[in-house]
Structure 1
Amino acid sequence: MASNNFSLSIPTFKGDHYNSWAIKMKSYLKAMSLWETIESDVELTILPQNPTAAQIKKRDEEAAREAKALSCIHSAVSDGIFTSIMTCESPKEAWSTLKEEFEGNAKTKLMQVLNLKREFEMQRMKGNETIKEYVSKLMSIVNQIRLFGESFASERVVDKILVSVPEKYESKISSLEDSKDLSKITLVELVNALSAVDQRRLMREEENGGKTEGLLLAKSSFAKATSNKVQCNHCHKIGHEEKDCWNKGKPQCFKCKRYGHLAKNCRFQGDEEIMAQLMEAEPLL
């Protein structure tokens, strides 16, 4: 018969990322059949004057579970954190003390969520990042927001990517808009599509013996120095002529200034944060 035994590593809390630790610790305690002891905080059964053996056994099991749950919490925190709960006599009290100290009250949580949302909106993709690295950074912030119980739709991440990625992804986004409804594209689909740009770049680097950081950068700088003098009469962007403009023939939305759709179909309509970013930046499409 196959064994059902398995070992779990107890998560350790050192003072940072309390919400992540609390979720892991709750799962651990459930696996140990101890979470109910913390959640309910039921007082130990009071034994009558002449208790039966069954009553004594039940009382001892309750006391053992409570002691075990408290011991688990003690073992799951660093020495510095332990001092704040070492006087707690029940696992429920210890758990509540940690929650109050490190999660904070409703006002504190609201401020933390607002700071995370501000950090999300300020993110811009760096030149040496791949699209997957950039999205991973965005999702790290999003997941922290969600840990506070705040909803954060994946569509907002999609919108953020579309308005904040560098110009090298323009042609790919333009072709996506021609072939798909960008208002319905999923985050996974968008990342996979834009990753093709990074893969082609990597292949070119390998073909050039990895010299893109030096030789190809110098060539691109020279190319930019000459091409930047040219301005497209259609989209008014610097670096290409009207005959080479990928936006030529496409309608332009007067709300977001992007090409490829009309204002009535604008997916950013009503989103003031996204619209503000679009008005500050050059249109991608």
Structure 2
Amino acid sequence: MLSNIQTCTTAKEIWEKLVQICEGNEETKENKLTVALQKFELIKMKPEETMAEFDERFSSLVIELARLNKTYSNRELALKVMRALPKEWDVKTMAIRELKDLNKLELHDLFANLKAYEFELETKAEMEPSTSQPTKALAASIPDQNPCSTDSRSTDEMSKDAMALLIRKFGKFLRKQNSQPFSFNSPKKNFNNPSENKCYNCGRTGHFMDDCNRQKQDEKK
């Protein structure tokens, strides 16, 4: 750097040379300003970022813009900060807009207010017990599932389904063979008192359909 200012004869020339070395020429300044403005427009508070970290990042960007001759009013900065916060901060930002004069609200005062609110939320969250996660005792009381037992239950369920399907098909087969619907609840033959047996073929009592003479005659035909 000393070699760059050795040819300067006045303090003004030295200063201008140092400014050019540190900040660059006009084209470099324009490029830096464009990048800084883009960062300012897109800045958002990150999900895992604390308010102190966001304050440092936002304030550094504002200082960088000020060095490039780009300044903002208190209101513009306050609105930009509140718009950059997540939705969880909407209630707080609405209260600030209603109760504070944004034209007089300094940036450091705004962040101090937000940090105090963040600390209040963290303290409240620590004092309240969390019910979203099961306790260790509850987790220990839940037995681990055995893969073998799970497989055996699955096999039993498949066997029951197969048996139900077999019974259903058997019922359909019997309904095709007989004119009357098959039912497991149909009356049984009474061998002690045959007169109580009823034939569903001829409607008479004393015998069943498989012993009916009329049925046998029809089969002979």
TM-score, structure 2 length as denominator? 0.48
Query: Which structure's residues are more often helix, by fraction?
Result: 2
Larger RCO, structures 1/2 (Cα 8 Å, 6+ apart): 1
